[in-house]
Amino acid sequence: MSPIRIARNAARIAAVATLAVGLTACISVFPKTKPVGLYRFGEAQVSTPKGPPGAMFSVLKSPTIFTRSAAADRILTSSDGQVAYIADARWVSPASVLFEEAVARAFENDPGRARLIGRGEVSKIDLVLRLEVRTFETDYVNGRKAAPEVVVRVRGVLNRNQDRSLVGDQVFEARVEAADNRVSAIVPAYDKAVAQVLGEVVGWVNAAGPAIAN
């Protein structure tokens, strides 16, 4: 083999080796990315005031309308009119999905008169419930360094299924201060706020039972 050909082959081998080392160096950076923490809410026990006695009645709940900025899996914050999302933290599912699951559990676990029925279920429908989640956020009322409070505000609308007449229209709100300005302390505040609001919603629906006969 001629000296020129040997020199060319050596140059190719050196270039490939250099490229491989470069790629190895680049690839080793990516596994060091900080993992995103996943959280959930809606599992706290819901306390419902005892409603009036009477026969069971069925309630069809339409899909909840959720504020768009907080409906996905990111945790929304607010401070002095500015909004942002908490970095490196996500809900395990979209907030709108976790809220729907929490509503279903709240009615299932309540011994009151109202029975929530699912779409497609063959059953007489007495009332139709619509929920609108208007606020679902972490509010830094005392500045970014202080412990925030979680705000959950929900509007509930009840109609009689028979004639669509309005039975009730009410706004429910819970404000729960987090124990600290950490995600691990903010998430339990969401749990408590959601449980408080849903307890009031279920109690309100139970109390609306007598309106069916009117």
CATH for 142? 3.40.50.10610
Same domain assignment for residues 14 and 86 = no
Same domain assignment for residues 90 and 196 = yes
Share of the chain above pLDDT 90, in %: 63
Same domain assignment for residues 25 and 50 = no
- Section 100-118 average pLDDT: 91
Return the residue matching tokens 């809410």.
41
Q: Please give the DSSP secondary-structure letter assigned to residue 28.
A: T
- Section 94-111 average pLDDT: 95
DSSP strand E in 92-197: where? 114-117, 127-139, 149-160, 166-177
Same domain assignment for residues 103 and 169 = yes
Between 51 and 42, whose confidence is greater?
42
pLDDT tens column, 191-200: 999 999 999 9
Same domain assignment for residues 10 and 103 = no
Same domain assignment for residues 19 and 46 = no
CB neighbour list of residue 133: distance below 8 Å, 6 or more residues apart: 64, 65, 66, 67, 70, 96, 99, 152, 153, 154
Q: Residue 17 — pLDDT band, cuts 50, 70, 90?
A: very low
Q: Give residue 146's pLDDT.
A: 94
Full residue range of the structural domain in which residue 77 is found = 36-213
Same domain assignment for residues 109 and 14 = no
Same domain assignment for residues 81 and 183 = yes
Q: Residue 20 — pLDDT band, cuts 50, 70, 90?
A: very low
Q: Give residue 122's pLDDT.
A: 65
Same domain assignment for residues 28 and 41 = no
Number of domains in the chain: 2
Q: What is the pTM of this model?
A: 0.80
Same domain assignment for residues 208 and 115 = yes
